[in-house]
Chain A
Amino acid sequence: MSGIPCRYYDGRTSRRRDAVLALTARGGLVVAREGADERLNYENVRIPGRVADTPRFLHLPDGGVCEVQDNDALDGEQARIRRDPEPRADRFGRLRHRLDSTWQGAAAALAVTAAILYSFTEWGAPAVAAVAVAATPPEAEAVIGENFLTLLERLRVLKPSELEPNRRNELLAAFEEMRRETGVEDADLRFHSVGVPNAFALPGGTVVLTDLLVELAEDDEEVIAVLAHELGHVEGRHVMRRFAQTSSMLVLWTAFTGDVSVAALSFLGPDRLLAQRYSRSFETDADRFAFDYLLSAGIPPTRLSDIIQRLSGDDGEAGAGGNALNWLASHPGAAERARNATEAAKRAREGAAADE
């Protein structure tokens, strides 16, 4: 009998016997153990799909195992007796082997993976985040923001503000007016002292303004410009959306790498780049919101880019190479923001000219 050489184990002991197996036309299988003149007949033994060139173990109904190392011979025999229609599991097994044993298959898989990762990053995660944030009650968001603020105060990161009460009231009035004009509901302004000039928005609509920023500003217009930018973050619920986007990306990276620890590693690399990109698009949105308000209040949008430029110490174009660095930045470059501000001002002038 011609057949495929294999090793036969009876499943009760680890004794190995060399044997020959043959597939029958009815889908059965015959194992002839050499040495002991014995033939075993089986009906419908499932032959596992091929994985690269690793030995295939045929698990026999009586607990025995046939180990076949000659994969090509087994494939040939399987093809010879292939039934029509071919059982689904067998067809699937052959397809998988065709896919992952050739570079063409791997290239196709890589293309599919890249396309899915790209679309999820570009559209999926922001959409998921928008839905998740829309479903989060504002009260819950406010609690998160309040807890975070209390924590920062307790850790003495945020110290009480030393600004004059009068000065504070002026700015509060300006903020209140801005809030009413733009129709943003839950927003409030708090003053604190931190070692750096800064302003930031928290979940729930709290905007924190630091004393040093007020000092750094040449006049109130600049402070209002910064506050308008932060109100843009509040209006778009950017903090929560960013959190939701980053979380959903981590889930995707875990699926990609198949391992949470490796996903955590990629969290330092590729995923960071994506998070920064999201962050920049939020900054651009907030800038746009600020420009609109500033124009309506008769303040030149360039006042925002002026103070930002002074804040970052960035004095202009980084050249063509600046684009590569942009990938790494969480904020758009100061030069880019200045350009946007100038354009917004220009558009406003043109719009005004058209109205006349």
Chain B
Amino acid sequence: MNEERQSNAAQDDPRPDLEHSDARTEEGTQATEGAGAGEPQTRRLRFTASGREYFRIWIVNVALTLLTLGIYSAWAKVRARRYLYGNVWLGDSAFDYTANPVAILRGRILVVIVLALLTFAQFFSILYYYAALLALMPLVPWVVVRARSFQMRNSRYRGIALDFQGKYWDAAVWYPLSWAASVATLGLARPFTVFGRDRYLVTESRFGNQPFGFAGKPRPYYGMYLVTAVVVGVLYIGGIVALIVVLGAALAATSSNAEAAEPDMRLLLFGLVAIVAAVSLFVLAYLRTRLLSYRWSNTRLGDDACSLDLSFTEMLWLYSSNAVLILATFGLFIPFARIRVLRYVVGQFSVTQTDAERIFEAGESQGVAATGAEAAGEFGLEIGI
């Protein structure tokens, strides 16, 4: 990482001869043997953030958020994002996060109001609660589209914004209707709906006026979900059998009077928590890793191909060690944990470009007039996709 920092610094030098600066081979570029101008080049993303820097930003954000009863959280989010984006490099340019904190605050206030109403409904009757939940369903696709486009439009690289132009009805198909389909088919449709959702999210995205393309197929999704289902099943059954054996041994060891009942309950509870933790850790490390890798490795931008190669064992190690350290430090390890995961994931991302000097054009939505006018009435909705 130090090396990379130095090379960034070296590029800061003002250069008298600037005619050919774009054509220079940059660090992080693995030019293929005898690469000419038109030969494909593979470049890795670089991540130069440090856990210590991010910890300081995070703890100041937390303190200011608590002091302002949560209002600062929107500014905190923008600052943390700016730090992370500014440390992701492709070639010798970093990413730029441009969201307006006031828009994010508006979005968060909206979410808090909706949640408060839901809680309020719950007090009267659980029936009202479900009715309210059902009434909110038509809003889901709208939120998905708004959140996605807010995130993309506020991400820039070399002065060009990303964009998302997904339509409401497609979002309705790939979110609420897909959930219903997954439930109705007892999960059999789930891999297909995840495929459809990925394709929707990728193909409706753009960098400037260049749409992204998706080369993924449904079949690999079925493979991933099959492996997940089998392993989760084995973990559950194996865990419960192990628990019964241990409990039986413990019961045999102590006299089975009433006083022994309580320690046994604790052992049972501990065993159940351990099984659930193992299952969630596996799903997180395996399914997420495979889904992310597959989605990105099948994403193209014109003739440029992306690739993300995450290893399950590496992610398992990162997630499990992070969980232990976060618990042991009462949460203070959170920022370090986030940087550890991002450093690995970003570092595994590469782009193969047929023409490294290709010039991208801005999309229509990136007009000068649009920025100010739209920001005024904008809701910065965020959801984890």
Interface residues of A (CB under 8 A from B): 5, 7, 9-18, 20, 34-35, 48, 51-52, 54-55, 57, 59, 61-65, 67, 69-70, 96, 99-103, 105-106, 108-110, 112-113, 116-117, 140, 195-197, 212, 216, 253, 255-259, 262, 265-266, 268-270, 312-313
CA distance in complex: A197, B208 (Å): 69
Q: Among the listed B15, B62, B360, which residue makes an inter-chain contact with A13, where contact means beta carbons less than 8 Å apart?
A: B360
Contacts of A108 in B (CB 8 A): 63
* B1-32 contacts to A (CB < 8 Å): 8, 11-15, 18-19, 21-22
CA distance in complex: A268, B258 (Å): 28
CA distance in complex: A197, B8 (Å): 70
Contacts of A96 in B (CB 8 A): 60, 79
Given contacts A11-B362, A12-B361, A20-B14, contact A110 B70 (CB under 8 A): no
Contacts of B76 in A (CB 8 A): 258
Q: How far is the CB of A331 from chain B (nearest CB, A)?
A: 11
Q: Among the listed A5, A7, A54, A253, which residue makes an inter-chain contact with B13, where contact means beta carbons less than 8 Å apart?
A: A5
CA distance in complex: A232, B252 (Å): 38
CA distance in complex: A12, B368 (Å): 10
Interface residues of B (CB under 8 A from A): 8, 11-15, 18-19, 21-22, 53, 55-67, 70, 73, 76-77, 79, 82-83, 85-87, 93-94, 96, 98, 123, 156-160, 208, 258-262, 273, 323, 326-327, 330-331, 334, 359-362, 366-368, 371
Q: Among the listed A54, A64, A195, which residue makes an inter-chain contact with B83, where contact means beta carbons less than 8 Å apart?
A: A54
Q: How far is the CB of A285 from chain B (nearest CB, A)?
A: 23
> Which of A5, A64, A100 has its CB near the most chain B CB atoms (within 10 A)?
A100
Say yes or no: B159 contacts A109, CB within 8 Å.
Answer: no
Say yes or no: B14 contacts A18, CB within 8 Å.
Answer: yes
Q: How far is the CB of A172 from chain B (nearest CB, A)?
A: 24
Q: Among the listed A65, A195, A313, which residue makes an inter-chain contact with B159, where contact means beta carbons less than 8 Å apart?
A: A65
Say yes or no: B57 contacts A268, CB within 8 Å.
Answer: no
Q: Among the listed A12, A216, A270, which residue makes an inter-chain contact with B258, where contact means beta carbons less than 8 Å apart?
A: A216
Contacts of B327 in A (CB 8 A): 265-266, 268-270
Q: How far is the CB of A57 from chain B (nearest CB, A)?
A: 4
Closest chain A residue to B76, Cβ basis: A258
Given contacts A196-B258, A269-B327, contact A15 B359 (CB under 8 A): yes
Q: Among the listed A9, A54, A62, which residue makes an inter-chain contact with B82, where contact means beta carbons less than 8 Å apart?
A: A54
Say yes or no: B368 contacts A61, CB within 8 Å.
Answer: yes
Q: How far is the CB of B259 from chain A (nearest CB, A)?
A: 4
Contacts of B334 in A (CB 8 A): 257-259, 262
Given contacts A18-B15, A34-B18, A269-B327, contact A51 B367 (CB under 8 A): no
Contacts of A99 in B (CB 8 A): 60
CA distance in complex: A100, B53 (Å): 8
Given contacts A5-B14, A57-B96, A197-B258, contact A16 B82 (CB under 8 A): no
Closest chain A residue to B83, Cβ basis: A51
Say yes or no: B261 contacts A51, CB within 8 Å.
Answer: no
Q: How far is the CB of A86 from chain B (nearest CB, A)?
A: 19
Closest chain B residue to A106, Cβ basis: B56
Say yes or no: B62 contacts A14, CB within 8 Å.
Answer: no
Sample of 8 more A-B contacts, CB < 8 Å, known A51-B86, A69-B12, A266-B327? A13-B361, A13-B362, A51-B79, A100-B60, A109-B64, A113-B59, A116-B63, A313-B260
Contacts of A117 in B (CB 8 A): 66
Say yes or no: B330 contacts A269, CB within 8 Å.
Answer: yes
Q: How far is the CB of B113 from chain A (nearest CB, A)?
A: 15
Closest chain B residue to A61, Cβ basis: B368
Q: Among the listed A255, A268, A269, A312, which residue makes an inter-chain contact with B65, where contact means beta carbons less than 8 Å apart?
A: A255
Say yes or no: A257 contacts B366, CB within 8 Å.
Answer: no
Given contacts A14-B160, A15-B359, contact A196 B366 (CB under 8 A): no
Closest chain A residue to B65, Cβ basis: A255
CA distance in complex: A261, B281 (Å): 13
Q: How far is the CB of A182 from chain B (nearest CB, A)?
A: 29
Q: How far is the CB of B165 from chain A (nearest CB, A)?
A: 19
